[in-house]
Amino acid sequence: MRVLGWLLLVGGLLLCASILWAAPGFLCMGLGLIFLQIAEEKDAALNRPLRIPINPSLKLSQLQFQK
C-alpha cells in the first residue's frame, strides 16, 4: 500500500507538469496521499498496545476492547 501510494504521488506530480494531464495528475496525487495515510494508520495500529481492563469479576464475554 505504501509503495503504491508513493508511485501514485510521484506519477501524479509528473502528470501535473503537462497542462493537458493536470486533472488526472491531481487525481493520482490525491489517491497516492490517501493510500499513504492508510498505510500509516495500519502501522500505528500495529504499534499501539492493546489495553484490556483487568477485573477478575468480569467474564470474558463482558470485556470491551478499546482501540
- Domain span at 38: 1-67
pLDDT of 25 reads 96
pLDDT of 56 reads 61
If one compares 44 and 7, the residue with the highest pLDDT of the two is 7
The model's pLDDT over 15-54, given as tens digits with 9 standing for 90+, comes to: 999 999 999 999 999 999 999 999 999 888 888 777 766 6
Contact criterion met (CB below 8 Å) for 21 and 46: no
If one compares 6 and 50, the residue with the highest pLDDT of the two is 6
Domain count, the chain: 1
Contact criterion met (CB below 8 Å) for 63 and 29: no
CA–CA gap between residue 17 and residue 33 (Å, rounded)? 18
pLDDT band at 58 (very low <50, low <70, confident <90, very high): low
pLDDT of 24 reads 96
| Burial letters 10-32, b for 16+ CB under 10 A, else e | ebbeebbeeeeeeeebeebbebb
Three-state DSSP state, 1: coil
